[in-house]
Amino acid sequence: MAIIVSAAALGRRSHFNVATDLERLLFALMGLTIIVLWVATLVIALLLLRERLREPAEAWALRLGALIALAGLALGGLMLTPTPEQASGEISGALGAHSVGVPDGGPGMPLTGWSTVGGDLRIPHFVGMHALQLLPLLVPCLRLAARRLPRLRDTGVRLRLTLVVAGGYSGVVLLVTWQALRGQSLVRPDTLTLTAWTTLAAVALAATALALRPMPRGRTATPEAVR
């Protein structure tokens, strides 16, 4: 954060900037910091796999959130691939880019700045790593909803819904990664991409309906069986 804010204050790029020896060193330092954070997150994810929590849904929301976040963090490495212009020497002082098919710095979406004319690898990076916050928030939301929806008072139902959401979230990460690598803007999907999104939504809805169905008598999962 100190490097990013300092570079912005000086009107310089923090990411992909290797124009000077100092900026090359700072960019390498950022990369090293990211590796340390990734390994730390991996250790936490492994510890969570062994941790016994009060509710299975809460346990798996934390575990799967951490694992998806690891994948999202790793997707940031795709941005370090030199562009054809950088590889040929046409563009110097930069290594990597977040846009695919178009130069960095073009038209972008409000607030996020994600490209509206080409692929943008920041999208899968962002969506993936924030599973670490979003999935664990699902469980308290289900508990609140259970006050009005008695079906959600069943811990088994909450667990199954958590697994469905985690699976759907993973599908979203895969789809936005695929879309970005094809040089396609998030807001300009083609027919193939729309078909993929529709299929994912249909599968998620069907899985949700199945998750809400009561399990046959005698097959109800106990918390100990799923921890």
Q: Does residue 223 have a pLDDT over 60?
A: no
d(CA 126, CA 187): 16
Across the range 60-84, mean pLDDT stands at 92
- Using a pLDDT cut of 70, give the percent of the chain over it: 94
| pLDDT value at residue 14 | 87
pTM reported for the whole predicted model: 0.86
Q: Does residue 95 have a pLDDT over 80?
A: yes
Q: With contact defined as beta carbons under 8 Å apart, do 226 and 217 qualify? A: no
**Out of 20-29, 119-128, 196-205, 215-224, which region has the weakest mean confidence (pLDDT)?**
215-224
Q: Does residue 163 have a pLDDT over 60?
A: yes
| pLDDT value at residue 66 | 94
What residue segments make up the domains of the chain, in order of their start?
A: 52-226
Sign of dihedral through CA atoms 213, 219, 223, 225?
Answer: negative
Looking at residue 214, the DSSP 8-state letter turns out to be: P
Quick one: pLDDT band at residue 219, thresholds 50, 70, 90? low
Q: Does residue 215 have a pLDDT over 80?
A: no
Q: Does residue 36 have a pLDDT over 80?
A: yes
**Out of 4-13, 82-91, 146-155, 197-206, which region has the weakest mean confidence (pLDDT)?**
82-91
Q: Does residue 226 have a pLDDT over 70?
A: no
